Structure 1
């Protein structure tokens, strides 16, 4: 049984091959170069020095996180590619498990910690019992001060390791007298530990097809967080400063748009009118309006900028108008929609509106009838 394993979860990258529990070769490099430039070369060096052809490997394994988002993706892509090309199974090994295994066996508690940026680490806590690695606390992204507070609950010796140690090791040792650092040779995740744990998983039948391998990030990358922040839809009351942007959305959405003066009058002169805007960042990407007359709410318009359709902005506007109606003790809501506008009709149906009548020749531009829809609140 031969397993080729790789680890690319930190600045170090490594590859290892084991055969029936025996380590044949391991190669690690931590020179700060990009994994994309060195990974395949590392794998080839491991194969050449083991005297094994790639076709003789029975399974491929990689650490799946947490860790460097880019590094993990590269490692997973390599293992998936090898598994697919050679029709061999792949094995997913949690990075923190493999890191803790670096100092197996150990009588102390083991606390791996990987840099998660912003003064946080990815961490867990382990103990070795009956020659098994036992996870005492689940994987987490945790502020370093909170980690110290949690470790204070344990009175026994705790070994820390991982690329979080150079940054936070001294802080932990100053705060906790029972904390010691692992040796430099065990500080970073190693492919040999990934391979050994992968062999155990293989024996347990925990193998995957190449397209079933998924990474475990714990939290989203900073790039994803920033992207989602930029894409977040904010609904707010429409203000005078929004009128020009709303008018632009109106013109791009309807063949017979309302005039700029109409929107100005709605905002400043119509006490019955309630208008909301949808924004992504500082950009107005949609709007919705409603007149409240006694206990009825009449939706006048809902429009989304063509460049931002398909992002559920219309859904957010409809939900916000319904909430606004309820907050104003409205009992029923109504609107008119073109029978040909199935996108809008289905959107309103989704939130409980039902067809209840027709207004003949309602739309002046085409003479098209209007479907009347009602919602009981």
Structure 2
């Protein structure tokens, strides 16, 4: 038996699940307009463990969404996961955020394009086939009328994630299907983290860092000219 605590904070969705052998026992998440990870994450973890009457030392691993996504959200999730691993001496598992998101839907044919909002008209996106296998690397890209045309030419393409919303008015192909209300969740992480657990595919807790894809850009106020 493998009990794995899954943590997803790469987007506005603060999500935690406890899974046994890849099956979700309990899921708590909050997807609201504001990022609430700092306030909610540890409460969700505590609530889940209390609800299942499980001591944190009884889990077998901690899994965390590795990105890309929100810089602050990823930092909060990874810091919490690493802290739990250090405290319990349990292994750390990382799950690609866009890959996990792709598992939110099942299709028989065509492609899945998971995409997260990267501000303005830019998205973080990756392409998956109907078996959820990644067939194109993750990119930060500006969306225009020709985006993903090679996939849309002869196939149905399913766009999901908060980055898909900005594509609706730009990508006009009849083969494009935009799916609302799908976002990275600790629910989809459960089976993926269990697969990695069986393979002993663990991260080095001391050195693991989120996958930001782009460098964090801090903004400062411009000085007024006198």
Tell me the TM-score normalized by structure 1. Answer: 0.55
Alignment of 1:65-104 (within 5 A): 65-104=67-106
Deviation at 1:209, TM superposition (A): 3.4
In the superposition, relative to structure 1, how do residues 107 and 44 fare at CA in structure 2: closer, same or farther (>3 Å)? farther
- Equivalents in 2 of 1:115, 1:98: separation in Å? 16
Deviation at 1:55, TM superposition (A): 1.4
Deviation at 1:33, TM superposition (A): 4.4
Give the aligned partner of residue 22 of structure 2.
21
1:61-118 alpha-carbon deviations (Å, 9 max, x no partner): 1111100000000000000000000000000111111111111455331001101113
Deviation at 1:123, TM superposition (A): 0.1
Aligned length: 217
> Match of 2:80, SS?
helix
> Match of 1:128, SS?
coil
1:116 to 115, 118, 130: 118
> Match of 2:212, SS?
coil
Give the aligned partner of residue 10 of structure 1.
11
In the superposition, relative to structure 1, how do residues 126 and 56 fare at CA in structure 2: closer, same or farther (>3 Å)? same
Deviation at 1:17, TM superposition (A): 1.1
In the superposition, relative to structure 1, how do residues 160 and 3 fare at CA in structure 2: closer, same or farther (>3 Å)? same
Greater percentage in helix: 1
Unaligned runs of 5+ in 1: 228-377
Q: Which has the higher contact order (CA 8 A, sep 6+)?
A: 2
- Equivalents in 1 of 2:39, 2:209: separation in Å? 23
- Equivalents in 2 of 1:157, 1:51: separation in Å? 45
Deviation at 1:206, TM superposition (A): 1.1
RMSD over aligned CA atoms reads: 1.9
Give the aligned partner of residue 294 of structure 1.
none
In the superposition, relative to structure 1, how do residues 61 and 158 fare at CA in structure 2: closer, same or farther (>3 Å)? same
Bigger drift between 104-113 and 77-86 goes to 104-113
Q: Is this contact kept in 2: 1:12–1:29, CA < 8 A? A: yes
Give the aligned partner of residue 194 of structure 1.
189
Unaligned runs of 5+ in 2: 221-226
In the superposition, relative to structure 1, how do residues 106 and 193 fare at CA in structure 2: closer, same or farther (>3 Å)? farther
Q: Is this contact kept in 2: 1:3–1:18, CA < 8 A? A: yes
Q: Is this contact kept in 1: 2:61–2:85, CA < 8 A? A: yes
* 1:135 and 2:134 are equivalent in the alignment: yes
1:182 to 171, 179, 182: 179
Q: Is this contact kept in 1: 2:126–2:139, CA < 8 A? A: yes
Tell me the TM-score normalized by structure 2. Answer: 0.89
Q: Is this contact kept in 2: 1:59–1:83, CA < 8 A? A: yes
Q: Is this contact kept in 1: 2:113–2:158, CA < 8 A? A: yes
Higher CA-based Rg: 1
Bigger drift between 106-115 and 135-144 goes to 106-115
Give the aligned partner of residue 157 of structure 1.
156
In the superposition, relative to structure 1, how do residues 140 and 109 fare at CA in structure 2: closer, same or farther (>3 Å)? same
In the superposition, relative to structure 1, how do residues 204 and 37 fare at CA in structure 2: closer, same or farther (>3 Å)? same
Moved segments of 4+, more than 4 Å: none
- Equivalents in 2 of 1:67, 1:106: separation in Å? 28
Alignment of 1:325-340 (within 5 A): none
